[in-house]
């Protein structure tokens, strides 16, 4: 295998972001006067639905008859407010990259590998994370960013990975994807990619059959042979 690029999922893979997302959702609901509140168990279950707006629709569909219902326009507006709140939370600091991510990205850059993001989240959330964790805009960290609001179907559909590959100008056999979730694994494998999975706090109960490797972290001791060969020369 000739490795030319690494393609990363964002939430749960680059950083354990889901608690910040959950906080942003709950604070936005409260600010709008909604009696919605997602505890950790709720959010773990709702993460099976990819996309924030889609997650709100899934939650609303579970509400009892007579409960307040939001229109699609109201959900879109609420999600925009949540995105802004998420950015504020990350701007206050306190979110760190998962172990090994910073070194992996740095060594990949030194090895002149392409670096891409293929994520269900939107571009503003990617920007918030790179500013928080790298102190740089996303385009200074990654060569390519493919976001969920740019494709017709979100993960587990392969669309966002296909978009990342097209923007990289590379075939899937020359890239490796990094994921933390079953939906992400399915998305990447449907796009023809080999996948390294690092389960996160919210996905450690999921099944990852079909992954090329499943490792506890992206720290150097956990790297599979392909990364060691390309980045460390052994």
How buried is 6 (Cβ within 10 angstroms: 0-12 exposed, 13-18 middle, 19+ buried)? Answer: buried
Mean pLDDT in residue range 20-36: 96
Are 83 and 187 in a shared domain? Answer: no
Are 226 and 117 in a shared domain? Answer: yes
* Count of structural domains within the chain: 2
Are 85 and 143 in a shared domain? Answer: no
Residue 29 belongs to domain with CATH number: 1.10.150.240
* Residue where a domain terminates, one of 92, 117, 149: 92
> What pLDDT, on a 0 to 100 scale, did the predictor assign at position 59?
96
Are 52 and 65 in a shared domain? Answer: yes
Are 12 and 37 in a shared domain? Answer: no
* Residue where a domain terminates, one of 66, 92, 118: 92
Are 111 and 208 in a shared domain? Answer: yes
How many other CB atoms are found less than 10 A from the CB of residue 63? 12
> What pLDDT, on a 0 to 100 scale, did the predictor assign at position 93?
87
How far is Cα 212 from Cα 176, in angstroms, rounded to an integer?
Answer: 9
Are 29 and 85 in a shared domain? Answer: yes
**Could you list the active site residues?**
9, 11
Residue whose entry in the numeric block shows the structure tokens 């950083």: 15
Q: What range defines the domain where residue 71 resides?
A: 18-92
* Residue where a domain terminates, one of 72, 92, 112: 92
Rounded to the nearest 10 degrees, the angle between the axes of helix 18-31 and helix 72-91 is 120
Which is nearest to 145 in space by CA: 7, 14, 15? 7
Are 112 and 211 in a shared domain? Answer: yes
Residue 184 belongs to domain with CATH number: 3.40.50.1000
Give tens-digit pLDDT for 48-62.
999 999 999 999 999
Are 225 and 134 in a shared domain? Answer: yes
Are 189 and 154 in a shared domain? Answer: yes
Identify any residues that bridge with 11 across adjacent strands, giving them in sequence order: 15
Give tens-digit pLDDT for 67-106.
889 999 999 999 999 999 999 999 998 799 999 999 999 9
How far is Cα 198 from Cα 148, in angstroms, rounded to an integer?
Answer: 21
Are 11 and 25 in a shared domain? Answer: no
Instruction: Read off the pLDDT band of 198 (50, 70, 90).
Output: very high
Are 214 and 196 in a shared domain? Answer: yes
Whether the per-residue pLDDT at 234 is higher than 80: the answer is no
> What pLDDT, on a 0 to 100 scale, did the predictor assign at position 208?
98
> What pLDDT, on a 0 to 100 scale, did the predictor assign at position 94?
74
């Amino acid at each position: 295998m000739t490795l030319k690029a690494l393609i990363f999922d964002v939430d749960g893979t680059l950083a354990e972001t889901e608690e910040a997302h959950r906080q942003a959702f709950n604070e936005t609901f409260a600010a709008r006067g909604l009696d919605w509140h997602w505890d950790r168990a709720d959010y773990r279950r709702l993460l099976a639905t990819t996309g924030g707006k889609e997650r709100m629709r899934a939650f609303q569909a579970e509400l009892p008859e007579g409960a307040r219902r939001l229109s699609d326009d109201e959900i879109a507006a609420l999600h925009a407010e949540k995105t802004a709140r998420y950015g504020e939370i990350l701007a206050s600091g306190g979110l760190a990259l998962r172990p090994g991510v910073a070194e992996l990205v740095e060594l990949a850059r030194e090895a002149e590998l392409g670096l891409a993001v293929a994520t269900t989240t939107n571009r503003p959330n990617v920007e918030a994370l790179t500013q928080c964790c790298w102190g740089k805009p996303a385009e200074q960290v990654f060569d390519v960013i493919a976001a969920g609001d740019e494709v017709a179907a979100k993960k587990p559909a392969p669309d966002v990975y296909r978009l990342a590959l097209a923007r990289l100008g590379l075939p899937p056999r020359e890239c490796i994807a990094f994921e933390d979730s079953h939906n992400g694994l399915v998305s990447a494998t449907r796009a023809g990619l080999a996948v390294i999975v690092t389960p996160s706090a919210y996905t450690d109960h999921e099944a990852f059959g079909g992954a090329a490797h499943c490792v506890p972290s992206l720290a150097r001791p956990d790297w599979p042979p392909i990364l060691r060969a390309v980045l460390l020369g052994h």
